[in-house]
Amino acid sequence: MRKDTGGDRDEEAAVSPNPRRVTSYEVARLAGVSQSGVSRVFKPGASASAEMRHRVLAAASALGYQPNAIARTLTTGRSNMVGIIISDLTNLYFPEVLSELAARFSRHGKRVLLFTLPHEAGVDRIIGDVVGYQLDGIVSAARLSADQVSAFLSRGCPVILYNRSLGGVAAGSVCCDQNKAARRLADGLVDTGHRRIGFIGGPADSTVGRQRSDAFAARLAERGIRTTPFVESDFSYAGGHAAMLELAGRAGSGLDAVVCANDMMAIGALDATRHALGRRVPEEMSIAGFDGIDPARWDSYRITTVRQPVRRMTEAAVRMLLDQIADPARPPVRRVLPGELIVRDTVRGLAPSGDADGR
């Protein structure tokens, strides 16, 4: 009656050292139904009688059956895996983002394939993997070129850009508009009498870094402050530290305040100011950053910063990607959430807002 794929040979090997997979055929045989029945019971929307459902589930649990996601992927074309691209986990903003993204995706039944880009140029490999592993989608928090994003999209893999957006590409994006907050920060500094204000920027090719410095410098210019000593750095603690020393050396003692393009550098700059330069913060030097990472709240720092709403941003990114996956035809969305100036203790004269510092 049925073709029986040669099941009953030396099968009864007790607890064999070979952990052979249990397949839907075996469950079917034990439950006395067809393989497709088993398949249907394990597929959410499919039709199956209570009777069949019960017998299959009983057999499945007796055998310890677990549907093979790989085989399922092969037929459905959907892997239930998403890729997350992070450039650098040592910038402590990214673990926070990754942690949130991973938790949220997991909650929605998506597995997370993590790609880190330590030394650049690994993107081509990721593109290959996206195709090869049939990833359902990508969230990228790393610098990708328009061509690279297009490569994903043309393979039918939707992309959500986190904290950057690219013109001419049909990728969704979640960004943080720090313009307003950056201007408020600039105003706050000027209003409290700061006049010679330096800036420690990110790498030249960083769009976020550029946005932050531009917004800030623009407002400063509007307020009549034109010379802003600028040092380019790399978003790291050490980078901020070194940049601060350079800035201090270059600008002499006239420097009032230094704003850094992210909190990691702000922390480094603050430490350099206090411990290497021996100057007090904020009394002799004001410092501010961007991101709102956790360490910036630590008692030793309490850095005034422009915070990104990480929770809401990651939530939006996940939502958007899931939507794109569910309906690839839907036009990609660009979501912009506002950054918020969190006033803490590193800017002289600026009083902490009533803000409870919550997330």
Binding of a copy of itself by 103 (CB under 8 A): yes
User: In the complex, what is the shortest distance from the CB of residue 76 to a copy of itself, in angstroms, rounded to a whole number?
Assistant: 10
User: In the complex, what is the shortest distance from the CB of residue 2 to DNA, in angstroms, rounded to a whole number?
Assistant: 5
Stretch in the footprint of a copy of itself (CB under 8 A) among 98-106, 175-183, 214-222, 247-255: 98-106
Please state, in angstroms and rounded to a whole number, the distance separating the CA atoms of residues 99 and 96. Answer: 5
Binding of DNA by 156 (CB under 7 A): no
| Omega within 30 of 0 (cis) for the link into 328 | no
Positive or negative CA dihedral for 121, 127, 128, 129? positive
Please state, in angstroms and rounded to a whole number, the distance separating the CA atoms of residues 16 and 29. Answer: 21
Sites for a copy of itself among residues 252-311 (CB under 8 A): 267-268, 270-272, 274-276, 294-295, 298-301
Binding of DNA by 68 (CB under 7 A): yes
User: In the complex, what is the shortest distance from the CB of residue 183 to a copy of itself, in angstroms, rounded to a whole number?
Assistant: 29
Please state, in angstroms and rounded to a whole number, the distance separating the CA atoms of residues 164 and 308. Answer: 13
Binding of DNA by 35 (CB under 7 A): yes
Binding of DNA by 146 (CB under 7 A): no
Sites for a copy of itself among residues 61-90 (CB under 8 A): 66-71, 73-74, 79, 81, 84, 89-90
Residue (237 or 290) nearer to a copy of itself, CB? 237
User: In the complex, what is the shortest distance from the CB of residue 312 to a copy of itself, in angstroms, rounded to a whole number?
Assistant: 18
**From residue 72, how far is each of 68, 243, 346 by CA, in Å?**
6, 52, 55
Please state, in angstroms and rounded to a whole number, the distance separating the CA atoms of residues 266 and 244. Answer: 9
Please state, in angstroms and rounded to a whole number, the distance separating the CA atoms of residues 9 and 226. Answer: 85
Residue (170 or 336) nearer to a copy of itself, CB? 170
3-state secondary structure 207-241: HHHHHHHHHHHHHHHHCCCCCCCEEECCCCHHHHH
Contact, 209 vs 201, CB < 8 A? yes
Which residues are near a copy of itself by CB under 8 A?
3, 5-6, 18-19, 21, 66-71, 73-74, 79, 81, 84, 89-90, 92, 94-96, 98-99, 102-103, 106, 111-116, 118, 122, 124, 128-129, 131-134, 151, 154-156, 237, 241, 267-268, 270-272, 274-276, 294-295, 298-301
